[in-house]
Amino acid sequence: MPNMRMTKNPMPSQDPNVRNKNFKEVTLGYTEEMALDEAQRCLNCKNMPCVSGCPVNIHIPEFIKKVAEHDFEGAYQVIAQSSSLPAVCGRVCPQETQCEGKCVRGIKGEPVGIGRLERFVADWHNAHATVATITAPKNGHKVAIIGSGPAGLTCAGDLAKLGYDVTIYEALHLAGGVLVYGIPEFRLPKSIVQKEVDNLKALGVKVETNMVIGRILTIEELKDEYG
């Protein structure tokens, strides 16, 4: 039976008198107990309105069901079919107006904490996964992506999963774009972004930093190599 509690599990966070003295992430993430309890609030709706609210159409009921079954790695694999940046999206996506905004539980109470569960699953995977990433067979095609912001990283992940040989060219010295240079550490730690980039590299994505396209390489040179 679903957990019919009207409110979601609150997100643990640093005490204000502690966080005002550091730049560490304010929110601490769900414990396993919290995640299991929150996952039980999902009704596993037949029409899955939450999926329609997700820009990348993650199969949300399926991944939450696996969380409820204590299959955290299985939940991650469901998310990874659609999202290349789950640890980032679990932190900074506007879930309240997207997936959670469509959640049926939100009609007469608080929606299921979908973003919080996504963050929990991604963090669990990053801390515990030991199985090597399974990559798609190469299809013989090469793709160059200019810029390693959220769009560039997402595009790289999707193409790599389809078997493309992907290289990202980034002008600055760290990959991540606005995730690194625009969002403060207490909201999105740099280590989280780096782990997501490392996960993409495990899929075969190559990242070339300090590559200012137009100076170091011209568009014509890229066309010659990737055309």
Instruction: Dump pLDDT digits (tens) for 62-71.
Output: 999 999 999 9
Q: Which helix (H) or strand (E) holds 126?
A: helix 114-128
CATH architecture group of domain 16-128? Orthogonal Bundle (1.10)
Instruction: Determine how many CB atoms are found less than 10 A away from the CB of residue 38.
Output: 23
Look up residue 56 and give its two tokens: 């990348």
Residue 92: pLDDT band (50, 70, 90) is very high
Percent of the chain exceeding pLDDT 70 equals 100
Q: What's the pTM?
A: 0.94
Give me the mean pLDDT over the 213-224 stretch: 93
Do residues 98 and 189 make contact, with C-beta atoms less than 8 angstroms apart? Answer: no
The structural domains of the chain, with segments of one domain joined by +, span 16-128, 142-226
What confidence tens digit (pLDDT) does each residue in 110-121 have? 999 999 999 999
Burial-class residue 120 by CB neighbours within 10 Å (0-12, 13-18, 19+).
buried
What is the pLDDT, as a whole number, of residue 131?
76
Confirm whether 16-128 and 142-226 share one CATH topology: no
142-146 and 206-208 as β-strands: parallel, antiparallel, unpaired?
Answer: unpaired
Class of domain 142-226: alpha beta
